[in-house]
Amino acid sequence: MFPSLMSFCGGRHDRPIKRENFLYFTDGTIIVRHEYSGEGDFIDGSIPKFSNIDKIFSHVLYDEKYRIGDIVKDPKMTVCKMCEGTGNLMPCRECGGDEVFFVSSGFNDYEVTCKTCKGELIEPYNPGYGGPSPMACGLCEGDGKLEEIIPISIGGYNFSNKYLRKIMNSGGSYLSSVDDSGSPRIYFEINGSVGCLAAMNIKSLGGEM
């Protein structure tokens, strides 16, 4: 389903959000709006917390001011510090990566958060560890490498080179002027679908999104 747009889903949104007549593909920093045609699996966007989407697309600025190919830079990769480049992590020896323990007091059953790791995968993969089975590092997704953060200045604001390359590789060619009427953002188009990218240091395009 929409393979070129599914790459924009991420974080808590592994599927597009359906709100009225559109599907929205987002990870909270970038969002793409696609007209709904009656197909696909989606998250119900009618609940109040998704109402901020309407504000993002209430006034789409799209004047094709910047050509993405003239702006983006080649990626620079660095070794993932969390897994030390192995791509794997070992679950906590105390809780096995389950984050909590289930405790019974005789009257009630309740959960206790693991004090050792708080549910985080805390050790790089070590073949001699002998503990729970290794798991792919969640930070680098098992690659052992991360793309360095490269800010690209556009209209006085910094935008992520990583996201700009993703837009370009997904078929986007041009960016709009910066819309700084609220949270600074730029708009783009991919095969008839309109997208929006937030400037760096903006936590999310839509608050709770």
Q: pLDDT tens across 65-103, in order?
A: 899 999 999 999 999 988 889 888 877 766 766 666 666
Output the CA torsion 56→60→61→65 (10° steps).
100
Residue/partner pairs of 94-100 with CB below 8 Å, 24 or more apart: 95/119, 96/131, 96/132, 97/121, 97/132, 97/135
Considering the chain, what percentage of its residues have pLDDT values greater than 90? 31
Q: Beta-carbon neighbour count of residue 37 at 10 Å? A: 9
* pLDDT of 7 strictly over 60: yes
pLDDT at site 208: 35
The CA-to-CA distance between both ends of the chain, in Å, stands at: 22
What pLDDT band is residue 10 in, cutting at 50, 70 and 90?
confident
Q: Beta-carbon neighbour count of residue 62 at 10 Å? A: 16
Range 33-58 average pLDDT: 82
- 201, two tokens: 């240091």
Rounded-to-integer distance, Cα 188 and Cα 111, Å? 46
Considering the chain, what percentage of its residues have pLDDT values greater than 70? 78
Range 9-27 average pLDDT: 86
Block residue for tokens 């480049």: 85
If you ran DSSP here, which 8-state letter would residue 99 be given? -
Q: pLDDT tens across 105-164, in order?
A: 666 666 777 776 665 656 666 666 666 677 788 788 889 999 998 999 998 899 999 999
Backbone angles phi, psi at 181, to 5 degrees: -70, -20
> 173 versus 114: which is more confidently predicted?
173
> 101 versus 59: which is more confidently predicted?
59
pLDDT at site 77: 93
Q: How do strand 43-44 and strand 17-19 relate by DSSP bridges?
A: parallel
Mean per-residue pLDDT over the chain, rounded: 81
What pLDDT band is residue 46 in, cutting at 50, 70 and 90?
confident
In sequence order, what are the residues at sequence separation of 6 or more whose Cβ sits closer than 8 angstroms to the Cβ of residue 101? 95, 111, 112, 114
